[in-house]
Structure 1
Amino acid sequence: MSGAAATDDGFNPRLIAGVVAIGIVAFTALWALIALGPQISSGNDGGGHALSKAAPGYAGIVDLVERAGAEVELRRRVERTRYEEYEPLLILTPTHRTRAPEVAELLDAQSGTAALIVLPKWQTMAIPGQTQKPGWVSAGFPARPPAKMLPPAHFGTVGVAAVPSKAQAVPARLAGRNFTAWLPGNVQTVTGDNLETLIAGPSGGAVLAQVGDRDLYILADPDLINNFAFASRDKAVGGAMLIDAIAEYADADGYAFDVTLNGFGGGRSLLRFAFIPPFIGITLCLIAAGLLALWQASVRFGPALKPSRAIPVSKAALIANSADLIRQARRELDGADVFVKSQRSAIARRLHAPGGLDDDATDRWIDKHLRGGSDLFSALARRLPLARNTHEFLADAQALHDIRKDLLRDS
């Protein structure tokens, strides 16, 4: 059998060390991805946000305005810092599950900055085997968003409705420019006492509305600027002119597409802080300390030895300690008479020897019970006290012990 990789312990230490190292790296990478996943994700999941290339997404309009030379940023966190020389148009793309406090937090953080909220319209799904490309959707159906998504403190009372209609192009004018707004079929509109209509729907309501005199706007139907609108050149041009007109009307310097409402934000958490400066230094120190502890444990073979008692507790330990004292004192030969006497007494008592016998008579009585050819007990009893060294003593003592074992059938 080849012993190239085998050891007496039944496993290869290098293999086990490799498995442990891979496990540590995988565990650390897992938690790093959990903490930083929303920030490093491509976001191409078929949703309705600026990272999505699916029909309800806005990657097309983002790419178009970037190619046109506009300042565009994708915000993965709530930005509370403002710059006087740069105020972009904040574009919010909530989902049907977005709640009013989440929208209010973003608007309050950018108080006074122009903001456009694009209401969701489509519920989509990706059917395995029917999706043509990763990140695309296979099917979708329109679903009216809940009006309670818009915080009343900012928008007042708002109603959302889907108006049955055919797709049509309507003329629009905003920020002193004329353009064409391509309204989809079953266009989605909003109504409210505090809303000023900028682009009207076919049967009332507003497709694009301004909240009072604030730089806060609502685009009720996302099909005017989402990737679905890029199915034709005319609709793409209309969507680009629409969003550009809104930015010019609000006197914005660029575009800031928020993706935190879509689950791609870097929220505050202890797990995330562990992998970003300055706390990543502490994390690396803890990892190094764990590796050093693992190395220290690996160099020691087997479990830690527990210190034993200085004086064990048992009869055997007492006998062993007494024997060790006798050996250290070199008095082994002085116990010959006592050993012979103890063996003689034990045999005579167990075999019921006659009473009144002296030591010699008892030895002869024991000799009668021995099998022929073996050493006589009497001869060993006389010879043992005359031993000259420990070797002779041990040999005769063992012979006496064997006689006792044979006669008494014990150990």
Structure 2
Amino acid sequence: MTGRSDRDNPFDPRLIAAVVAVGVVAFIALWALVALGPQLSSGNDGGGHALSKAAPGFAGIVDLAERARADVELRRSVETATYEDDKPLLVLTPAADTNAEDVADMLARQGNGPVLLVLPKWRTMPGTGEGHKPGWVGFGVPLPAPTRLLPQNYFGTVEIAMPQAKAQTVTADVARRRFAVPLPAGAQTISGAGLETLIPGANGGAVLARTTNREFYVLAEPDLLNNLAFASRDKAHAAAMLIDAVGEDAEAAGIAFDLTLNGFGGGRSLLRFAFVPPFIGITLCLIAAGLLALWQAWARFGPALRPARAIPISKQALIANSADLIRQARRELDGADAYVRSQRGAIARRLHAPGGLSAEETDAWIDRHLKADSASFATLARRLPLARNTHEFLADAQALHDIRKELLRDG
């Protein structure tokens, strides 16, 4: 029979290492995308926000303002604003299902800054079929915006309606700027005691209004500013004049389009904090530590350690094991007589003591060979069996061992 070669082994260590490395990287990338996905998304999903290129979106006015070299910002985070000068006009584009508490929190965080709140109007469905492009919508149904999107403590009691009116062109006069505004048929309007009409609509309502106590503006008809307004040159001109007039009236230094109300960033979570400064450094250190631990577990340093025997094979091990058994049984003091006899016999045999001597005579013979200042072997031999504890036993046994070393020079 021929032995199998290394090439026949289906588990190649390098292949397994590559699989593990790819799995670790994929796992980290997955959680990074989960945490940062809303902030990295292109946003072209057909919604009514500043990233959408669909009909109800506002990517057109954003692109136009950027081409006009205006100071445009797309906000993906929620921060408390404290303005002194250069206040930007914050444009909010909530959807019909946006939480009213989020809108109120956004207005509270804006402080003394101006806000333009564009009400939603269209309930859309994604487009399907041949010729459909990503980010487009199939069709939409106009429905009045819910009044809960306008907190009463800021806007008072309001009424939102879509009167049956024909398409018409009205003249707007905002911030001493007069321009024509082509209103679509059934333009959405808003009315309330705490609102001042800037651009009138049908049945006494307003398509653009401003609160009487703060610089909060409400655009009830989103088709005057969204991508539908860029279907013709006149509507696009009116949209540009409208956003510029509102900014001039609010004395704003730029435009900031909020994206957090539409689900693009702004969420606070420990997972997202792990991948943004300043905590990204800790995350990288933890990842590096994990990779080092994996490498240390993979690589072996030195030869493989073989398990040692439970009972080593040697006289020293036998003595150690015997001593350990005596210690565990707590019978140390019972070996005093045997220890004295072993020491006496070893000394007498090595020094050639006369034969026929008794134990006491042998002890006296050993004492005659000791120095005058040395401890008496006979005294220690009588005292050791009478030891009351292990401390006394060890002291006398060590003294006997020292006498043997002195006489026999055997260490």
Q: Could you state the TM-score of these two structures normalised by the residue count of structure 2?
A: 0.71
Provide the residue aligned with 2:256 in structure 1.
256
Separation of aligned partners in 1, 2:94 and 2:309: 72
2:7 counterpart residue number: 6
Q: Counterparts of 1:104 and 1:131 in 2: how far apart (Å)?
A: 40
Deviations 1:203-247 (A, max 9, x none): 221111111132111000100010011011110001110111111
The C-alpha deviation readout for 1:97-128, integer Å capped at 9, x for no partner, is 11221111111111111111000011112233
When the two chains are superposed, the root-mean-square deviation of aligned CA atoms in Å is 2.6
SS for the counterpart of 2:204 is coil
How far did residue 11 of structure 1 move? Answer: 1.4
Residue aligning to 2:377: none
1:306 CA displacement: 10
Cα gap change, 1:306 to 1:135, in 2 (>3 Å): farther
**What does residue range 270-289 of structure 1 map to in structure 2 within 5 Å?**
270-289=270-289
Who is 1:222 aligned against?
A: 222
CA shift digits 1:48-103 (9 cap, x unpaired) = 01111111011101111121222111111123243423101111000111122111
Question: Counterpart in 2 of 1:92?
Answer: 92
1:203–1:83 distance in 2 versus 1, CA, 3 Å? closer
The residue aligned with 2:164 is 164
Instruction: Classify 1:5/1:181 alpha carbon distance in 2 versus 1 (closer, same or farther; 3 Å).
Output: farther
Secondary structure at 1:264's aligned position in 2? coil
Deviation at 1:5, TM superposition (A): 7.4
Query: 2:145 aligned with 1:120, yes or no?
Result: no
Misfit runs of 4+, over 3 Å:
3-8, 304-309
Query: Is the CA contact 2:189–2:202 (under 8 Å) kept in the aligned structure 1?
Result: no
SS of the residue corresponding to residue 196 of structure 1 reads: strand
Equivalence for 1:145: 145
1:155: Cα distance to partner? 1.0
User: Does 2:19 correspond to 1:50?
Assistant: no
Pick closer, same or farther for the CA change 1:130–1:92 going to 2, 3 Å: farther
Structure-1 separation of matches of 2:240 and 2:19: 54
Could you tell me which residue of structure 2 aligns to residue 381 of structure 1?
none
Partner of 1:198: 198
CA apart distance, 1:173:
1.0
| CA distance in 2 between partners of 1:267 and 1:288 (Å) | 27
Is the CA contact (8 Å cut-off) linking 1:93 and 1:117 kept in structure 2?
A: yes
Provide Cα deviations, 1:318-368, integer angstroms capped at 9, x if missing partner.
xxxxxxx9xxxxxxxxxxxxxxxxxxxxxxxxxxxxxxxxxxxxxxxxxxx
CA distance in 1: counterparts of 2:131 and 2:96, whole angstroms = 23
* Structure-2 separation of matches of 1:248 and 1:291: 56
1:75-114 matches, within 5 Å, as 75-114=75-114
SS of match in other structure, 2:91 = strand
In 2, the alpha carbon distance for the partners of 1:166 and 1:309 equals: 99
The number of residue pairs the alignment matches comes to: 312
Q: Letter of the aligned partner of 1:44 in structure 2?
A: N
Q: Equivalent residue for 1:136?
A: 136
Aligned letter for 2:295? Answer: W
CA drift at 1:30: 0.8
Any gaps of 5 or more consecutive residues in structure 2? Answer: 312-317, 319-411
Tell me how far apart the structure 1 counterparts of residues 6 and 113 of structure 2 sit (CA, whole Å).
68
Question: 1:294: how far off?
Answer: 1.5
**1:304-319 matched pairs, under 5 angstroms:** 310=310
Cα separation, 2, equivalents of 1:27 and 1:228: 42
> How far is the alpha carbon of 1:4 from its aligned partner?
8.5
Question: Which residue is equivalent to 1:363?
Answer: none
* Residue equivalent to 2:21: 21
The aligned counterpart of 1:388 is none
Task: Please list every run of 5 or more consecutive structure 1 residues that lacks an aligned counterpart in the other structure.
Answer: 312-324, 326-411
Report the Cα distance in structure 1 between the residues aligned to 2:289 and 2:310, rounded to whole angstroms.
36
Match of 2:173 in 1: 173
How far off its partner does 1:289 sit? Answer: 1.5
The answer to whether the Cα contact below 8 Å between 1:130 and 1:138 also exists between their aligned partners in 2 is no
1:255-404 equivalences under 5 Å are 255-299=255-299, 310=310
Counterpart residue type for residue 61 of structure 1: I
CA distance in 2, matches of 1:4, 1:245: 82
Moved more, 229-238 or 105-114: 105-114
| TM-score of the pair, normalised by structure 1 | 0.71
Secondary structure, counterpart of 1:235 in structure 2: helix
| Percentage identity across paired residues of the two chains | 64
Measured in 1, the distance between the counterparts of 2:135 and 2:104 equals 29
Structure 2 CA distance for aligned equivalents of residues 249 and 133 of structure 1: 38
TM-fit CA distance, 1:130: 4.6
Q: Which residue of 2 aligns with 1:34?
A: 34
Q: Which stretch of the first structure deviates more once superposed, 198-207 or 292-301? A: 292-301
Question: Does 2:241 align with 1:241?
Answer: yes
Distance 1:275 1:131, change over 3 A: farther
- Which residue in the other structure is 1:184 paired with? 184
* Deviation (angstroms), 1:260: 0.6
**Is this contact kept in 2: 1:35–1:272, CA < 8 A?**
yes
